[in-house]
Structure 1
């Protein structure tokens, strides 16, 4: 698997987990956007794996969802550890 494919898959998995947490709290995009000062359209792009985020955005999302930042990474990831 190429490095770019791994990165894209990671963003998709992260986004799915973000959506799962947001849904579990019964929040729509605009409600979460208001809580974390991130545009609702950007949240949608993050959930679809189309946007890479900075650590500051990660912190804002966790505060807006009222979860520890590590919960945003609570999903299974498979990496190709072949470093040849």
Structure 2
């Protein structure tokens, strides 16, 4: 997987986080940060696809967003582009 593909996946993940935060829960970055163990500034960077995150962060975000972690990965993952 090249860097452009990785960046696109980070952006898609961030888009999903932002959608659930703003459209479903209608809460601010700070409110989400209060509901999970992730700094509001990090959540903003995650939503913009600016940082890579670890699996425990995914679980924390899911907890704060009141969704199953799998829902954060509800976007296309084109296997043919990854070389698999």
What is the TM-score normalised by the length of structure 2? 0.89
Between the aligned partners of 1:14 and 1:56, the Cα distance in structure 2 is: 15
Deviation (angstroms), 1:75: 1.4
Deviation (angstroms), 1:37: 1.5
Between the aligned partners of 1:21 and 1:82, the Cα distance in structure 2 is: 31
Gaps of 5+ in 1: none
Between the aligned partners of 1:7 and 1:75, the Cα distance in structure 2 is: 13
Gaps of 5+ in 2: none
1:5-16 equivalence runs, <5 A? 5-16=4-15
Q: How many residues align?
A: 82
| 2:84 is equivalent to residue 60 of structure 1 | no
What is the TM-score normalised by the length of structure 1? 0.89
More helix by share: 2
